[in-house]
Structure 1
């Protein structure tokens, strides 16, 4: 009975989403249902809630600010023509649109995601894809598919959380996840090729870009460690593919306007990496704030705003579009925190029969869709995953790694993230419910196929 009650918040959110209610309504309803069920069936000492909340609530605030400043930055860059400059560079140098899409999906979006995390790569990639000539739905979906480096997003806090909760070495978990991330890379590559329908040469280029990213992340995981692996792997794609474009055209295409367009990205990337290095060397509350993604996103916004005349109107419009997305994401994270802290997630795990480890990737996939991040999913279910692995006499490392990879890709199907991607694809008008529903269905299909294959691999090959 306790397990059934523990499932109720998830079921409430899913039912409301199936009834085409806004994601923020479903999220709030799920969070309220979780709070009510805790009061009825999962009593938890106030001291436990307070101690856990002190650690978790700053993360909710950080994610909300990342989404806010990310949307503001994207709108400011769009208004300044920066997106047009970057996409024009990619389009002018790439032999065709499919190869330009490959550079964005396997290079630009994963790079931005690895540096900042929490879906910021989508806010950068979607407008570029739109300028490349992709349709609204293609731009939104391809931008989301670029989130295949989420295990290393924001230098890997989600993977770090999973390693800590499972008692594993973080670099060992990162390497195991890197090996298994070949599965989502293959799935994403197939979807890109199926949608773009490129010629044989372009198809090979897409396959090569995907392979470069996977090998780059794997190689970095082997030699450098988990945290910077996503940055290095996606940068390999940008450098190699971009250099190929330059050689093919025999020109760099770099102009002063392009330099100004990428300056906010450069400040964001370099500033964040240097600040994190500073925080590692001199840990303190001040350096922790300076090393946070919202800090450098805000700095990038200030730089981008200099070239925009109506910066206040653009920023206010972006903030208005962010409200339902920010509320929905925060509410999903709140629901995940309630379920984790009160033992509801463990009760759900008790429903899984011993030996059926193939179901474990689905737990993280569902958690990622609900919370919008692998950090939230890992926080919710890592304890359950290790318990199932122990009862099934299976090593915890491959189970946690597979669930980490499955949940990370499934984060692209989080309703608030899908809504944001569709909205970013057409900033001039409110996002269409039909477009959101279509992209949502495709995103869920990708994450579901990935979770299925991950589960089968664990069940029969571990």
Structure 2
């Protein structure tokens, strides 16, 4: 009976989301239900709550600021026409459709997603794919497949949450997730080939782009740290493929406007790397603040704002859009903290038969499809996954990493994200129900195959 009571807050939140209530309302209901469960069934001392909260609550603030500045940056770049400049360069530089698709799926979309999050990479990638000559359905599903670097999306708040709830080092979890993310990368590369059906040479090019992105993200996690790894890995793909395209066409296509368009991204990436090196050499509260993702996202916003005349109205609009998202994310994080700190997550873990860790990626995958983010999924289920790993006498780190990777790719199958992708493929007309169903089915298939593969890996290889 106790495990079912512990599961009630999560089921309530999921039910409300399925009934199309907003994320913050659903999460707030889950928080209230979790609080009541603690009072009546999972009593916890105030000293334990205060000690745990002192470490966790600053993380809630950091994640909220990352989401805020990420959304503001996306809106400012859109208003400045920056992504239009970058998209036009990709369309003009690509020597063939399949290689252009590879650059978008493994470079452009992951890069935009790593910087801003929220599925912004899809809104950028889908129009470029249409310009490359892909059909509406191809563009929609390929744009979604570009969400392959979501563990590091928006500088990795979802991964940070998973690390905090399990007590592991966030960079260690980043490395573990990068290793196991080879499975989603293989699945996505295979899916791209099945959608495009290119010639053998183009298949090899698609595979090479996928390997390059995976290796770049892995190396960045090991050498630099979790937060900027997605940016670095996807930039590597853009740099290598872009250079090859330039050599082939014997012209760069670089313009002053293109340089201004990428300046905010350059500031964010270079600034974050330098600040992290500075923090490593001179650890202090000041260098910790300067090395934080929100600091450099804010700096990138300031630079992007210089090219926007209506910056105030754009910023206000972005803040209004952020409010429900920020509130919902913070509430999900709060619910996850309550359930982990009070032992509710461990109680839910007893519902999974000891030793069957292959089911754990399904928990976060389902959570991501429902909430639309790996942050929400990790907040709800990471504590449970950790408890299952402990009960099964399996190292927690690879199991949590598998759950993180499963949730991250499954976010592409969230119904609102699928509908957005289809609409972006044909913005001049209402999205067709048949097109949405076609894309949704394939997105769910990718998420399901990925969850099965990750489950089998963590069951027999971890």
**TM class by smaller structure:** 0.7 to 0.9
Q: State yes or no: 1:210 paired with 2:210.
A: yes
2 CA distance for matches of 1:401 and 1:365?
12
State the partner residue of 2:459. 459
1:446 paired to 2:446: yes
Q: Take 2:318 and 2:404, find their aligned partners in 1: how far apart are those partners?
A: 32
Say if 2:403 is the partner of 1:403. Answer: yes
The runs of 5 or more residues in structure 1 that have no matched partner are none
- Runs (5+) with no aligned partner, structure 2: none
Deviation, structure 1 residue 364: 3.7
Q: How far 1:198 sits from its partner (Å)?
A: 4.7
Deviations 1:261-288 (Å, cap 9, x if unpaired)? Answer: 1111111111122122222222222222
Q: In the alignment, which residue of structure 2 is the partner of 1:351?
A: 351
Measure the CA separation in 1 of the matches of 2:80 and 2:224.
Answer: 37
CA contact (8 A) 2:329 2:375 kept: no
**Distance change (3 Å), C-alpha of 1:295 and 1:223:** closer
Helix, strand or coil at the partner of 1:148: helix
**Which range moved further: 215-224 or 18-27?**
215-224
1:109–1:146 contact (8 Å) kept in structure 2: yes
Distance 1:102 1:69, change over 3 A: same
Corresponding position of 1:130? 127
Shift of residue 248, structure 1, vs aligned partner: 1.9
C-alpha distance in 2 between matches for 1:424 and 1:63: 29
Q: Distance in 2 between matches of 1:274 and 1:284?
A: 15
**Following the alignment from structure 2 to structure 1, what is the Cα–Cα distance between the partners of residues 281 and 310?**
40
Question: How large is the Cα RMSD of the aligned pairs?
Answer: 3.8
Q: Judge which range, 384-393 or 244-253, deviates more.
A: 384-393
**1:381-408 deviations in whole A, cap 9, x for unaligned?**
5564455345445454543443343234
Matches within 5 A, 1:369-388: 384-385=384-385, 387-388=387-388
After superposition, the C-alpha distances for 1:308-359 in whole angstroms (9 at most, x for unaligned) are 2222222222223323322222222222122112211111111111221211
CA distance in 1, matches of 2:401, 2:185: 15
- Which residue of structure 2 lines up, in the alignment, with residue 15 of structure 1? 15
Q: 1:160 to 1:201 in 2, by over 3 A?
A: same
CA separation of 1:396/1:304 partners in 2, compared to 1, >3 Å: closer, same or farther?
Answer: closer
What does residue 362 of structure 2 align with?
362
SS in structure 2 at match of 1:149: helix
Structure-1 residue corresponding to 2:302: 302
Aligned length, in residue pairs: 457
Equivalence for 1:321: 321
8 Å contact from structure 1 (residues 373, 408) kept in 2? yes
TM-aligned CA deviation for residue 233 of structure 1:
3.3
Residue 213 of structure 1 aligns to a residue whose secondary structure is helix
Closer/same/farther in 2, CA of residues 7 and 84 from structure 1, 3 Å limit: same
